[in-house]
Structure 1
């Protein structure tokens, strides 16, 4: 439900904020007051194209925003928001759209920027606008199937059909992929098996190259290494003045000194520690020197192994771990390809079963749609007669998509093409709704459809503009009656020039144009009971103060009004 609408610098509107309630909201006013501007602003908010001409003269930017409440039945809306990480607050969302003089604009839903296509898609769940500013789902052929299925109570059945269709589509893709890969399967298997054998024979170990490179470096520079080790050993323990010999003498001296001066005991122990650490280090260095030997054959083996590992890494990965991972992956793919024939036969059986199930379901749905189409067309035609279109014939066409090699050709929602057709005048053939020239006629068609589907239609807010074009008398009363009936379960906005429609309002708003400081502005305000009485009188006779007009207004309000 649209709770609050704020419009700034749009056409003649300077700064306008108005709150709305559920039920039938009627907007009236003098010709030229700006009622069409309100509808245009709504259309802008719902995602219609717009250019900088709509920006109020002298302003840099136009903006329209709305607070919209969501009910518990707004499943599609909530899923759409969740998919985009947009979170309602207290079951409400704020939509805001701006347009600058350079033609650029911005669109936000709950402060999350979205595209105009996103805005149109989102608001289509919530609003339908009918009239000269087209935002209506009625003209979208794909929505006709939804309307018919909702009327026929087929929504759960078609949802299950759609699940099967998508499952079948996915399995067919898998089959096509399997058949295409079969042609390359043998070559791929040969390549994978060769790789697995090559890696298995080489048997690389994690980190092996790093260890071998260290060993190769040691063997390649053996003479330098041996020289350095010999020099170090001499300095450490071979010479008379070696580090270890000096530490031994120091240790003995400090032990003697500590026996004389007890305060040196701690220092003596520290020198002991240094000596034992040096002695242990000397032992390790001596063992390394004694084991040090040059093995040219080992150097050759290491270099050959490094070359073999390099070839493996060049083919299968940047290091031994990657090469080993490639082997595991290749073995898994070999297993998968080896089982592909068995899997393909299983997949073929599943596809055949799904195809049979889908055709049976499609046939059953088609029969129900065909029966419901006749009833829906008849009910809508009857209502159109009451709405001033007595010669209109409304038809719901349900035609087959055709036959294929496997039987019925099916789409995501069945085997049918559903389209609403109408003949507005005697002798005219049935034709698409989009070819109806009159916005008023199209609005009345939607009013008829919404009346029939009122209980099951998920769109909560309807906007009707021009619905009273070319009608009056009993027809106008009928239009008001149907609007009032839908208003019991929907939020309705209706711009009208007819008092017989306006008296049905649950909430009556006046659109007025005022001038101040050489500038003209359009405003909207809710009418009090007294103000409403005067507005109905003006609509009846152009005189809001005449006794006859006021008496007529009182009569209509007493008979049809819900307030006043």
Structure 2
């Protein structure tokens, strides 16, 4: 439950602090005093979006904080434990900072959290019924959600929706794979042909350069042969050849070293150079013996180069690129093969998901049909005192059908749920959205909220002007319903009806004043005498007369507070 709410620099509010009690907390005040501003601040600490426009003029930021009692709510305590947040003396503090630059902050026990996480947490503690929320009863899908809440099957329906979403995604992927299958098969044929063609060529890295060099040599065969012959003649050991002259020169130098000893090192160097020359000449001669200028080899090389270049034109600019294309093609084939495997896996997943969805949908549908009558009876029981004594309420659960008339399953199952009502005796049941008035919708929503609250662990219900469109005896009955509900829950209710306000366990008035040329909203919990004056104002308006004061005292005397009044700090 909400123990305390502090608001700073929020719309017309400079700084206020409101303390709430258990039981029925009533907020009243003249139109425009700022009651809706307080509701907006409440929404902010519950995780609603907050626009920078709510920041009070001349301020850089607005701050809202709330002290929440959680020690009697197992769901909230489990959530806090799961998120490593520890309550202090059974309470946690929620803080919300709204800055002009749009960079707001949300804190839970000084841990900064996303706004959506705050919403997730506070939804375990609070249920807010806004001014126009009863209009949601005009939306048929809301009927299904309310029935599911009454049946306690929200988790099942959430799982069903999650599975259905996954089924939709898989179907889309599967259909896309089927559409691409023909193209994949064509690509598979092309890739297999490419690999066969490349493998048949037996390409080797560097082969093209080697063949090109050999081709260059063959094309200048006569010139090469001529120079090799001349080299052999000039370097031969026969008379006039280089080796013969060098050998003779070596003999002369050897003779000289016998006379001039300091020439011996030069002889050693000459011997080494002579041996190197002999080796070089021998290698050139060996190459001369190896070289064969065959016209058939020239044709062979040209054919091979043509084959290589044909493959390069199709698969790459070099042998290395062609070979890489071959590896990439093999990888693609493996990918296509795994694609086929993925398709088979997907078919199994689709089958399993369809089975799960069908199983959950059947269970959900059975639960809805079982509790529909219970919800009907419970709502009728609670709308009787609210001026709808003869009204008949019904929860219609029918199969959702497609164009072919067959039952189809959607994210929420196979059912179409709709609330029907006959407001007056003897009238046929008709869809709620077609005949209910605003006042009837408000009373129905209160009845439904009351019924649902009996089954959940939510601690606090917030009603913002649920009494719109009603008054008189119905207003008295509404006050009684809220008072009964407040025996089990904390109720925060903004009302303009004195018949509701007199039931308050804690009555808070919202006022608006001009201070230093600025409009400021204040709040305070009312004393006994102040409460009489406020009820009198609500009964007759300003100025308050003796008759309205007397009437107010009489009404308040009939309904003494159960939980005791709690005084808030003045804002």
TM-score, normalisation: structure 2: 0.62
Q: Distance in 2 between matches of 1:311 and 1:550?
A: 98
Give 1:462's aligned residue: 461
Say whether the 8 Å CA contact 1:503–1:561 is kept in structure 2: no
Deviations 1:13-49 (A, max 9, x none): 3343435456532112345533244335556886579
SS of 2:510 mapped into structure 1? strand
Equivalent residue runs for 1:102-117 within 5 Å: 108-110=105-107
* TM superposition shift of 1:468: 3.2
Say whether the 8 Å CA contact 2:376–2:393 is kept in structure 1: yes
1:552 to 551, 554, 565: 554
Say whether the 8 Å CA contact 1:48–1:135 is kept in structure 2: no
SS of 2:461 mapped into structure 1? strand
Say whether the 8 Å CA contact 2:131–2:466 is kept in structure 1: no
Q: Distance in 1 between matches of 2:504 and 2:322?
A: 78
Say whether the 8 Å CA contact 2:13–2:520 is kept in structure 1: yes
Deviations 1:77-128 (A, max 9, x none): 99xx99xxxx978666544456x7xxx966554467879xx99999878765
Q: Distance in 2 between matches of 1:170 and 1:547?
A: 66
Give 1:561's aligned residue: 562
Deviations 1:263-308 (A, max 9, x none): xxxxxxxxxxxxxxxxxxxxxxx99xx99x99999x9999998997
* TM superposition shift of 1:190: 0.6
* TM superposition shift of 1:523: 0.9
TM-score, normalisation: structure 1: 0.62
SS of 2:467 mapped into structure 1? coil
Q: Distance in 2 between matches of 1:200 and 1:123?
A: 68
Count of residues in correspondence between the two structures:
475
* TM superposition shift of 1:387: 2.0
Residue 327, structure 1, aligned to residue 330, structure 2: yes
Going from structure 1 to structure 2, the CA distance change for 1:521 and 1:450 (only over 3 Å counts) comes to same
Q: Distance in 2 between matches of 1:533 and 1:204?
A: 104
SS of 1:73 mapped into structure 2? helix
Q: Distance in 2 between matches of 1:511 and 1:424?
A: 36
Going from structure 1 to structure 2, the CA distance change for 1:319 and 1:113 (only over 3 Å counts) comes to farther
Say whether the 8 Å CA contact 1:8–1:63 is kept in structure 2: yes
Deviations 1:328-373 (A, max 9, x none): 3432423543x689x38x937x756765775566455434423422
Residue 35, structure 1, aligned to residue 35, structure 2: yes
Q: Distance in 2 between matches of 1:494 and 1:407?
A: 46
Q: Distance in 2 between matches of 1:316 and 1:499?
A: 94
* TM superposition shift of 1:419: 2.7
* TM superposition shift of 1:383: 0.9
Give 1:413's aligned residue: 412
* TM superposition shift of 1:451: 1.1
Q: Distance in 2 between matches of 1:316 and 1:72?
A: 72
Q: Distance in 2 between matches of 1:476 and 1:141?
A: 27
Kindly indicate whether structure 1 or structure 2 has the higher relative contact order, using CA contacts under 8 Å at least 6 residues apart.
Answer: 2
Deviations 1:439-470 (A, max 9, x none): x5433322211111114447665332333346
Deviations 1:191-250 (A, max 9, x none): 232344456567899xx78x9999x99xx9xxxxxxxxxxxxxxxxxxxxxxxxxxxxxx
Give 1:16's aligned residue: 16
Going from structure 1 to structure 2, the CA distance change for 1:479 and 1:127 (only over 3 Å counts) comes to same
Q: Distance in 2 between matches of 1:470 and 1:112?
A: 40
Which has the higher mean CA deviation after the structures are superposed, 492-501 or 173-182? 173-182
Say whether the 8 Å CA contact 1:68–1:94 is kept in structure 2: no
SS of 2:512 mapped into structure 1? strand
Deviations 1:473-520 (A, max 9, x none): 654443234324444554432012345433444443221222323433
Give 1:387's aligned residue: 386
Q: Distance in 2 between matches of 1:540 and 1:422?
A: 33
Going from structure 1 to structure 2, the CA distance change for 1:153 and 1:317 (only over 3 Å counts) comes to farther
Going from structure 1 to structure 2, the CA distance change for 1:123 and 1:197 (only over 3 Å counts) comes to farther
Give 1:25's aligned residue: 25
Going from structure 1 to structure 2, the CA distance change for 1:375 and 1:538 (only over 3 Å counts) comes to same
Give 2:189's aligned residue: 190
Give 1:279's aligned residue: none
Going from structure 1 to structure 2, the CA distance change for 1:547 and 1:173 (only over 3 Å counts) comes to closer
Give 1:509's aligned residue: 508
Give 2:478's aligned residue: 479
Going from structure 1 to structure 2, the CA distance change for 1:154 and 1:39 (only over 3 Å counts) comes to closer
Going from structure 1 to structure 2, the CA distance change for 1:334 and 1:436 (only over 3 Å counts) comes to same
Equivalent residue runs for 1:54-133 within 5 Å: 59=58, 63=62, 65-67=64-66, 73=75, 93-97=94-98, 108-110=105-107, 128-133=127-132
Give 1:226's aligned residue: none
Going from structure 1 to structure 2, the CA distance change for 1:322 and 1:188 (only over 3 Å counts) comes to closer
Give 2:450's aligned residue: 451
Say whether the 8 Å CA contact 1:6–1:64 is kept in structure 2: yes
Give 2:522's aligned residue: 523
Which has the higher mean CA deviation after the structures are superposed, 473-482 or 310-319? 310-319
Q: Distance in 2 between matches of 1:26 and 1:468?
A: 13
Q: Alignment RMSD, CA only?
A: 5.7
Residue 366, structure 1, aligned to residue 368, structure 2: no
Q: Distance in 2 between matches of 1:67 and 1:161?
A: 35
Equivalent residue runs for 1:126-525 within 5 Å: 128-134=127-133, 138=137, 140-155=139-154, 157-159=156-158, 161-162=160-161, 165-166=164-165, 168-169=167-168, 172-173=171-172, 175-197=174-196, 312=315, 324=327, 327-334=330-337, 336-337=339-340, 343=344, 347=347, 355=354, 358-359=357-358, 362-363=361-362, 365-403=364-402, 407-424=406-423, 430-433=430-433, 436-438=436-438, 441-457=440-456, 461-469=460-468, 471=470, 475-488=474-487, 490-525=489-524
SS of 2:179 mapped into structure 1? helix
Pair member with larger Rg:
2
Say whether the 8 Å CA contact 2:5–2:66 is kept in structure 1: yes
Deviations 1:409-448 (A, max 9, x none): 111221112233445566586344597553x543332221
SS of 1:150 mapped into structure 2? helix
Identify unmatched segments of 5+ residues in structure 1.
Answer: 221-285
Say whether the 8 Å CA contact 1:199–1:324 is kept in structure 2: no
